[in-house]
Amino acid sequence: MAAVPIQALLATHDEPCLVLDQHLRIVAANKPFFASFQLREGDVLGESCGQLLNDLPGIELARTLGCRHDEILANGKPQTFICRLRGQRIPTTLVRVHCARVVDDAGNKLLLQTLRPLEGEMPGVSRSGMVGDSKAMMTLLDELAHAAAKDLPVLLQGESGTGKELSAEFIHNASKRRHQPFLTVDCTVLGADLFESELFGHEKGAFTGSTRTKRGLFELADGGTLFLDEIGEIPLSIQPKLLRALESGSFRRVGGTVQHQVDVRLVCATNRDLWSMVQARGFREDLYYRIAVFTIGLPPLRDRLDDIPALSRALLDRLISPDGNPIVVTPAALARLAEHDFPGNVRELFNVLQLGYALSLDGIIDAQHIRWQSLPGLVIPDPGHGGDDFGGMPPLPPPVGIAPTGDPTSGLSAREQSEATHIRQILNELDGNRRAAAARLGMSERTLYRKIKRYQLL
C-alpha cells in the first residue's frame, strides 16, 4: 500500500472530507467540510469524530448499523453507507459516507471519510421529512439515495401510510433535479376524462368548458420530478398515452397538434400488487416495465418500531398546545406504543398520539392515554391502564367480541383475537418453535415475539 500525501488527497475532493486516525480523531479536513458545516480548524482538529458529528443531547442513536471504522481499518476494504449527522455544533444532515483506509508518509493507517449531504438543514440541501435511524429505515434511505443518483424511473411499493410521498420527495431532493419542480398527481381522484387533461394539458376549445389553454403537469414538471401516487388506479384507456410520453419524452395537449418535448423524471407509488394486476390484465405489462426500473419496498412501521420515539417527536411537532409548551410522550407511553403492530402505519401512530394528547390534561402523554381505535367510532382502552384517570371520564364499554375480563385476550379487537388464536395454533403445531412459526406466519421472529408477549401466549 503506497503512502498518500494527505493534504494533496484532500484537495482533490469537492465534497466535505475528513481524515481520521486509528483512534477516530480528526487529523485533517478539507475546505468544503469547513465551509459546509461552518466550522474552523480549531473546532475540528483533534476532536473525536463521533463527538463532533453525533453528540446532540437527548438523541438515542440506533446502534444496529454501528460504527464501521474499526472494520475498515482492520480489513482495508472501503465501505459506503448512510449516516445521519446530529451534533450540537453542526446542522442535522443525512449524508452518504464513503470511508476508505489510506496510509500517510509515516506509514500510519488512517481513514479518509467523504460526506455527501443528501438532505438536511444546510444551504442548498432540502429536507423531505424522513425520520428514523432504525436498520430498516437506514436501508430504505440507502436505496432511495441510490435511486436518486441514477435518474431512472422509480416504483415505490408499500402499505398505506408508510411514507411513499415523503420517499418520492427524498429522491427528488437528493437528485440533481432538486432545484427544479416536484409535482404530485393523486391518481385516485381523477377519472379517465380528466386524467389526460391533468397530465398533458389542453388547448382552448378542446372540449366544452375549456375556455383557455392549460399546461399539464408533464409540462410544468419539465426538468424536475413528477410523482404519480397510486399509479395502479390509472385508467387503462390512459395507460398507452402515458407509456408513449415516457418513452419519447413528448406529448400533445388534448385538442392540440403540436408535439411538446419535456425532460421529466418519473417516480410512481402504489399499495397494490402491480404485477398481479398485469397478470389479470388490469395494468399494461409494457407500462409496468417502463415505470418499475428501480423498485423499492417501503417497510411498514411494525418492522421499524425503534423509530417510534423519533417519529412521535416529529409528529407531535405538528400539534400546538394552548400554552405553547412542547407535548411530551413519557417512556412508559413509548413502551406501550412499541407493543402495537400499527396496521395503519405512521398515519395510525399520528392518530393515536392525537388522541393521547386529547386525553392528557397537561400535555404529557402517558401510557394510560394510549388507546387503539380498532372499530369504527369505538375507542378501546388498554386493560390494566384503567379508564378512569381522565378527569372523571367513565371507562368506555368493551365492544362486541371482546373476551370477558380475566381472559388473556381481554381488551383485544375481534381481529386481534383471531390473530392470537391463529398464532397459538401454529405454535402448538410446531411445538413452540418460534423461528419455524415466524416463517410460516410470514413475519420476523422479533414481530412474532412482540405478538406472543402482547397476546400473552407465553
Can you give the residue ranges of every domain in the chain? 6-125, 137-297, 301-395, 404-458
Q: What does the mean pLDDT of the chain come to?
A: 81
H or E stretch at 292: none
pLDDT value at residue 57: 52
C-alpha 309/C-alpha 263 separation (Å) is 40
3-state secondary structure 70-114: HHHHHHCCCEEEEEEECCCCCCCEEEEEEEEEEECCCCCEEEEEE
Mean pLDDT across the stretch 49-66? Answer: 60
**49 against 377, higher pLDDT:** 49
pLDDT value at residue 290: 94
Q: Which fold has domain 137-297?
A: Rossmann fold (3.40.50)
C-alpha 218/C-alpha 261 separation (Å) is 10
DSSP 370-436: --EEEETTEEEPPTTT-S--STTPPPPPPPTTPPPTTSTTTT--HHHHHHHHHHHHHHHHTTT-HHH
Q: Cell triple for residue 101?
A: 483506509
- β-bridge mates for residue 119, sequence order: 94
The residues, any chain, with a CB within 8 Å of residue 41's CB and separated by 6 or more, are 29, 34
Name the residue type at position 194: L
Candidates 367, 304, 378, 383; CA nearest to 334 is 367
Q: Cell triple for residue 301?
A: 412501521
Mean pLDDT across the stretch 344-348? Answer: 92
322: pLDDT confidence band, cut at 50, 70 and 90? low
**441 against 261, higher pLDDT:** 261
Mean pLDDT across the stretch 305-313? Answer: 93
Q: Which fold has domain 301-395?
A: Helicase, Ruva Protein; domain 3 (1.10.8)
**432 against 80, higher pLDDT:** 80
C-alpha 244/C-alpha 322 separation (Å) is 53
pLDDT value at residue 266: 94
What digits encode the pLDDT tens for the residues 275-299? 999 999 999 999 999 999 999 999 9
pLDDT value at residue 381: 47
pLDDT value at residue 170: 94
Helix (H, G, I), strand (E, B) or coil at 372: strand
Q: What is this structure's pTM?
A: 0.74
168: pLDDT confidence band, cut at 50, 70 and 90? very high
What digits encode the pLDDT tens for the residues 241-257? 889 988 888 878 887 77
349: Cα within 13 Å, side-chain hemisphere: 31
What digits encode the pLDDT tens for the residues 196-245? 888 888 888 777 777 788 888 888 999 999 999 999 988 888 899 889 98
What digits encode the pLDDT tens for the residues 392-405? 333 333 333 333 33
60: pLDDT confidence band, cut at 50, 70 and 90? very low
pLDDT value at residue 321: 65
Mean pLDDT across the stretch 135-157? Answer: 92
Q: What architecture is domain 404-458?
A: Orthogonal Bundle (1.10)
CATH class belonging to 6-125:
alpha beta
Contact 22, 109 (CB under 8 A): yes
**361 against 32, higher pLDDT:** 32
Mean pLDDT across the stretch 308-326? Answer: 83
C-alpha 193/C-alpha 238 separation (Å) is 9
Q: How many CB atoms lie within 10 A of CB 27?
A: 17
Contact 428, 410 (CB under 8 A): no
pLDDT value at residue 194: 79
What digits encode the pLDDT tens for the residues 71-129? 898 888 999 888 888 888 888 888 989 999 988 888 889 999 999 988 888 877 888 88
Q: Where is average pLDDT lowest: 7-21, 83-97, 214-228, 371-385? A: 371-385
pLDDT value at residue 415: 62
Mean pLDDT across the stretch 43-47? Answer: 88
What digits encode the pLDDT tens for the residues 177-199? 999 999 998 888 777 777 888 88
Mean pLDDT across the stretch 313-337? Answer: 85
